[in-house]
Amino acid sequence: MRRALFPGSFDPLTLGHYDIIKRGVTLFDELVIAIGVNAEKQYMFSLEDRIDFIKEAFKDEPKIKVTTYKGMTVDFCKKIDANFILRGLRNPADFEFEKAIAHTNRRLSEIETVFLLTSSGKSYISSSIVRDVIRNGGDYTGLVPDTVSVK
């Protein structure tokens, strides 16, 4: 089975993430979307909300599973028997950052990283930009799936 892990904080899930997931799921038998839990990080959305946003967005896709994890991504991949890590790239800076992580992961394990370029119309969207729009009372709805809502 070709199982891939798509890790992230998804704070919140954006249309960029959505794009990578929709395209990535076609490449694997199962795609596990894993929300990394970091007790030292301040999140805008609760872990439960982030899980709900993702589950609702992909409720009709049986090949997608949603979970959480702590610790190193490669260790979690081994735990769930994932042979691939899926990552999205928006720009050259993302590539340089992700390349270093991918090389480190390969040194630590046999897990391959698969990169997908975000579709051109979504490449400017990041979770930090969405959070900034929300904090400042802007219309964030064109940046996230319909399942994401601010309470």
Catalytic residues: 17, 41, 90, 127
SS3 of residue 77 by DSSP:
helix
DSSP assignment of 78-144:
HHHT--EEEEEE-SHHHHHHHHHHHHHHHHHSSPEEEEEEPPGGGTT--HHHHHHHHHTT---TTTS
Q: State both tokens at 145.
A: 């799936």
Cα–Cα distance, 101 to 95 (Å, whole number): 10
